[in-house]
Amino acid sequence: MKPIYMDNNATTACDPAVVHAMLPFFTEQFGNASSIHSFGAQVGKALKEARGKVQALLGAAQDSEIVFTSCGTESDSTAILSAIKAQPERRTIITTVVEHPAILTLCDQLEKEGYVIHKLKVNKKGRVDLDEYKSLLNDRVAIVSIMWANNETGTLFPVEEMAEMAHEKGIMFHTDAVQAVGKLPIDLKATKIDMLSLSGHKLHAPKGIGVLYVRRNTRFRPLLRGGHQERGRRAGTENSASIVGLGVACDLAMQHIAEENTVVKKLRDRLERGILAKVPNAFVNGDTLYRLPNTASIAFEYVEGEGILLLLNKEGIAASSGSACTSGSLEPSHVMRAMGIPYTAAHGTIRFSLSRYNTEAEVDRVIACVPTIIAQLRKLSPYWSGSAPVSNPEQAFQPEYS
Amino acid sequence: MWDYSEKVRDHFFNPRNSGPLDHANGTGDVGSIKCGDALRLMLKVNPATEIIEDAHFQTFGCGSAIASSSALTEIIKGKTVDEALKVSNQDIADYLDGLPPEKMHCSVMGREALQAAVANYRGEVWSDDHEEGDLVCKCFAIDAVMIEDTVRANGLKTREEVTNYTKAGGGCSACHEKIEDVLIAVNGRLYSSEPKPKKSPLAVPGESPVKPKLTNYQRIRKIEDTLEALRPMLQRDHGDVTLVEVDGKKIYVALTGACQGCQMESATLGGIQHKLVEALGELVQVLPVAAMAHH
């Protein structure tokens, strides 16, 4: 049976049209865009076109605001390190507890180096408190960095409003939008967002290409210095094939953005409803009223995520978990913990992330498989007995150490 | 996805002896819901013979936790209680044809459940001082808590000392920053390491990036030198290593002293292999001398 891929927040398949557009740039169009001869000029023209397509998807005012990087992580690091280098007198960074490690690990490192990091907490739906945020905005803050959409739950953050609030206080605002771009309509010129990170492989472009949007007149310091590429803001020979591929992917995303919010959303809702109707002691994580259209984060109580993934994989279904055991650390996902999801549910959380390539038949097959898998694992669980959790599970099973 | 052995997959997909056991007379509950691993082991022991006539488990945990539990019940059934207590976590891992280093704690949990269940059968109280941190050194499977405890107990100051005492950081060296973080957490600062009296034989200054092919003699000398450099680390743990045979890409060594039969034997061999691959600049396989018979 054809495998079912529902892990599109991890990475997506390259669209065939993207691959087709890229291939000539490995063969006859191999030139360096910086060269004066015709080999280079053709590539230069292709890069300009691609830049225009990224600009269009983001609703950026200028194509010179698009800086190509190698990935979302590079874009995130560039944005934050630029802000603190350009404003050495400002030594505070505001972010959230549920960011991607690309932001959190960097901030933890900067904290060791003496910077003050404020991580906004979230409530059990994954929402931040805007009053707390407002109280932290002052002239010591170098940059605010808030994800547009959370990768594990799909919960959206009010980044446009938060950017306005930062702007009023003269504070730079960055958003890690790798999960949002291509899934939500974005019009940067109508916002006060100064910098935005995107990653190609999350929207059917290849891995190894990212973008940092830098609004005109934003004070900027490059991460990589060297040649004059990207107007000196990101040195290094352009990854021309991937940039061209990203351009095509952005074009396709523009065409399909309505579909993401209708067809894909419907599939996701069908999947969630179908599973919850059949599996007891399961619930959806995150802000169900304000989230990405493609993401379903479902907690299955009293079982552990890796077991679920292994059994799903055996059925040819690819999903992911926020579970500790898939990463080699023992604690469950920092996102689940931040939302106060109990350990018995956090460890059993599975993320299904869909794309426009998924079908209703696939969704129905997943709905048919999941209840059996959960029942099979619950039969092994010391917290489960028959068709329900043991009464008072936390008391009934109290292991020797905790 | 983890690279699980066929045995692990089999015991996960078709767990043996799962579910509650009626008339169990020894039960051990170990693990922690916080860490995502919890195991209940139930034994039916014949009081006259002390033979474990049946063993069942219930596990909340990942694939290898379930497989380790299943393997444990298979191993101990039919053994006497005393025989069963001799089962080490390495025995459980071996029964499953090995576990990834990040997953060795699953076999440790199995071993602890066994101790707890036997204590319960004997009417004793079992207490555990087990604490586990995040895995720092993947080559030798050493976690942060073990490094921290060793640093405190011995007043260690430098990364080199940590490697000498715990083996952590003695392989690929990617975890050196994490080890330094532990040192800073314990000591409040990082002490610079003593300047080395002489260059280690592994780092030849000015060596050309394109290495000339070694003669057989040079190659074996290099293997010996590399093992020699690792030896003090093993001797600290009252173990040792000797080179037995070099057969093309296969390097057979004998682990002696405390290394022999140590629960970390496979991790130790992995670490040695890593060093040899680096020193020789080619892929080689380090095997215990026992494996020679099969080849």
Residue range B216-273, pLDDT digits in tens: 888 899 999 998 888 888 888 788 888 999 988 889 988 887 766 666 777 788 888 8
Closest CA to B181 of B146, B153, B156, B144: B144
Residues A56-82, mean pLDDT to the nearest whole number: 98
Residues A142-148, mean pLDDT to the nearest whole number: 98
Q: Return the residue of A nearest to B2 by Cα.
A: A326
List chain A residues with CB under 8 Å of B116.
400
**Backbone Cα Rg of chain B:** 22
Which whole-number Å values give the CA distances from B16 to A347, B11, B21, B53, in the listed order? Answer: 23, 7, 13, 15
Q: Return the residue of A nearest to B102 by Cα.
A: A328
- SS3 helix, strand, coil % of chain A, rounded to 5? 45, 15, 40
CB–CB of B128 and A401 under 8 A?
Answer: yes
Whether pLDDT at A374 is above 80: yes
Rounded Cα–Cα distance for residues B144 and B159 (Å): 13
Pairs across A and B, CB distance < 8 A: 110
Task: Supply A213's token pair.
Answer: 């949007």
Q: What is the ipTM of this complex?
A: 0.84
Which H/E stretch holds residue A143?
A: strand A141-145
Closest CA to A65 of A56, A73, A55, A75: A55
Rounded Cα–Cα distance for residues A347 and B221 (Å): 50
Residues A61-83, mean pLDDT to the nearest whole number: 98
pLDDT per residue as tens digits for the range A248-289: 999 999 999 999 999 999 999 999 999 999 999 999 999 999
Q: Which fold has domain A4-8+257-396?
A: Aspartate Aminotransferase, domain 1 (3.90.1150)
CB–CB of A400 and B30 under 8 A?
Answer: yes
Per-residue pLDDT band for A325 (boundaries 50, 70, 90) equals low
Q: What is the pLDDT of residue B170?
A: 85
pLDDT per residue as tens digits for the range A175-198: 999 999 999 999 999 999 999 999
| Contact of A32 with A239, CB cutoff 8 Å | no
Q: What is the pLDDT of residue A150?
A: 97
Residues of chain A with CATH 3.40.640.10: 16-253
Residues of chain A with CATH 3.90.1150.10: 4-8+257-396
Q: What is the pLDDT of residue B129?
A: 60
Handedness of CA A398, B44, B125, B61 (dihedral sign): negative
| Contact of A198 with A204, CB cutoff 8 Å | no
Q: What is the pLDDT of residue A63?
A: 96
CB–CB of B66 and A381 under 8 A?
Answer: no
Whether pLDDT at A31 is above 50: yes
* A55 DSSP assignment: H
Q: Which fold has domain A16-253?
A: Aspartate Aminotransferase; domain 2 (3.40.640)
Residues above pLDDT 90, as percent of chain B: 40
Q: Return the residue of A nearest to B39 by Cα.
A: A382
Q: Which domains does chain B have, with CATH numbers?
A: 6-121 (3.90.1010.10), 135-187 (1.10.10.1100), 216-294 (3.30.300.130)
Annotation marks residue A325 as catalytic = yes
List chain A residues with CB under 8 Å of B37.
304, 325, 330
Among partner residues B34, B130, B135, which is closest to A343 by beta-carbon distance? B34
Q: What is the pLDDT of residue B207?
A: 45
Q: What is the pLDDT of residue B290?
A: 80
Q: What is the pLDDT of residue A252?
A: 98
Whether pLDDT at A238 is above 70: yes
Q: Which residues pair with B46 in a beta bridge?
A: B51
Whether pLDDT at B133 is above 80: no
Q: Three-state DSSP class for B29?
A: strand
Average pLDDT, chain A: 94
Q: Beta strands A384-385 and A388-389: pairing type?
A: antiparallel
Rounded Cα–Cα distance for residues A375 and B159 (Å): 48
Q: What is the pLDDT of residue B208?
A: 46
Q: What is the pLDDT of residue A366?
A: 98
Whether pLDDT at B209 is above 70: no
Per-residue pLDDT band for A328 (boundaries 50, 70, 90) equals low
Whether pLDDT at A400 is above 60: no
CB–CB of A304 and B131 under 8 A?
Answer: no
Per-residue pLDDT band for A326 (boundaries 50, 70, 90) equals low
Query: Environment class of residue B200 by beta-carbon count within 10 Å: exposed (0-12), middle (13-18) or buried (19+)?
Result: exposed
CB–CB of B35 and A307 under 8 A?
Answer: no
